[in-house]
Amino acid sequence: MKFLDQAKIFVKSGDGGAGCCSFRREKHIEFGGPDGGDGGRGGDVILECVANLNTLIDYRYQQHFKAKIGNHGQGRNKTGGKGDDVVLKVPVGTQVLDEDKETVLADLTAAGQRMVLLRGGDGGFGNMHYKSSTNQAPRRADEGWPGEECWIWLRLKMIADAGLVGLPNAGKSTFLAAVTRARPKIADYPFTTLHPNLGVVTLGEEEFVVADIPGLIEGAHEGAGIGDRFLGHIERCRVLLHLIDGTQDDVAEAYRVVRHELAAYGGGLDEKPEVVALNKCDSLTADDIELKLMELSEACGQEVLPLSGVSGVGLKPILARLFTHIREAREAEPEVPAASAIFGAGKRGAPTFQQRKRKAEAEDDQFARGHWGADGEWIWHDAEGGDGDYDDEGADLDDEEDEDEE
């Protein structure tokens, strides 16, 4: 599925149905009088927030949405029915903006949330409405009121508790794959991540959502690289995890570049709590790690944690530090729901990156001790490297047969 986080669409509510000009003409009824019914109201334009969407790609191929007009009134005082509504389903975290892209009309942050964006036009009155003692045979029937129409922007801002920032190839996607069940694309070239990815971290009995966004480079706020528009997906985050590639020559400059881009983007990103980590420590010596930790601490003014997303070193301390900030933010703003509660909890007991790695190594060790035979039986290798028939407990079957004979 392609990812799209911004779309411009045209919406129009339905026009009201026309009233009816009718008179009752029936045998043996000399003065039937007017009986024209009113027109029905036009359909509404409704926005609905659903939990099983994560992109606005549906609005790339269809940009015009119009609700149905109301049904016209009929004789015998029949009022026209209401026109069918048009329901636009959007992901959680979608903002609705006016055509100027500045005025926020709605912010949908919970699954199941619905709002009427444009109300359908009212139906016109039939001639029965204008009947009075002085006007007993009115011949006036009104047209329905027109519906509303406008161009709007849909902008998706993902909801997450923690956001990953850093230069390209800083190890953000590797970190996400190591601590969650997400499977982002990982490669050794810049801008491997082209759209945001979400993952649910399970820390004991607690859970929180982590968002990985494309890397930033110097001048991203001016359009360099793929720009800084994706920073909107971490505006809702409670804490940022700033990953620095430890294999770079100047780690302090790498930190300053990203901080400058966050400040240039605005949105309060440079004011959010931040946890700084030196990644790829498995490729450095102990002396290099100590030296770069010191340089980075002087640049950011806080403690820097060592990390290796590939080997799993330092993951738990960083997750604990992130959750500390998230818990404090939740206590300060209890009315704001947790991201894990919005998207749903992750599956308990799901294998992590390190668990899958150990399982693969165990399978390799298992096949080093034996192999499958031609008839589907398992054949264990003996201590001298030859083949021998062993049961699941590792005992020689021939020895067991001798014991049975005794």
Q: Which residues are annotated as a binding site for GTP?
A: 166-173, 191-195, 212-215, 279-282, 308-310
Judged on CB neighbours under 10 Å (0-12, 13-18, 19+), 199 is: buried
- Known binding positions: 166-173, 191-195, 212-215, 279-282, 308-310
Residue-wise over 336-363: b if at least 16 C-beta within 10 A, else e?
eebbbebbeebeeeeebbeeeeeeeeee
Pairing of strands 206-212, 86-91: unpaired
- DSSP letter at 202 equals E
Helix or strand (DSSP H, E) at 252:
helix 251-265
- Known binding positions for Mg(2+): 173, 193
Which distant-in-sequence residues (6+ apart) come within 8 Å of 349 by Cβ?
A: none
Measured CA to CA, the distance from residue 91 to residue 52 in angstroms comes to 7
How many other C-beta atoms lie within 10 A of the C-beta of residue 276? 25
Measured CA to CA, the distance from residue 379 to residue 372 in angstroms comes to 6
Measured CA to CA, the distance from residue 406 to residue 402 in angstroms comes to 6
CA distances from 399 to 61, 391, 402 (A): 73, 11, 5
